[in-house]
Amino acid sequence: LKEKKGFLSEYSQSTTGEDMAETFSFLMIKNSELKIKLQNDDILEKKVNFIKRNILLIDQNFKFIS
């Protein structure tokens, strides 16, 4: 997985839905680990931005962990 850009875990490679769920999980719970991975992974950064942008369409007051 270290060589496969865009994925956070082996589990996230199983389906698109699981990939988004795993990315959201890291965004909410393992944010510091995610920030490190984002430094060298533009695909993952696009996924995170997609999730953030669309959640804010639903709830503009949603707070992501910093």
Q: What is the pLDDT along the chain (66 residues), one digit of tens a residue?
A: 456 789 988 889 999 999 999 999 999 998 888 888 899 999 999 999 999 999 999 999 998 876
Residue 51's region, left for phi above 0, alpha for psi from -120 to 50, else beta, is: alpha
Rounded to two decimals, the pTM is 0.81
CA atoms within 13 A on the CB side of 9: 15
CA 19/CA 9 separation, integer angstroms: 9
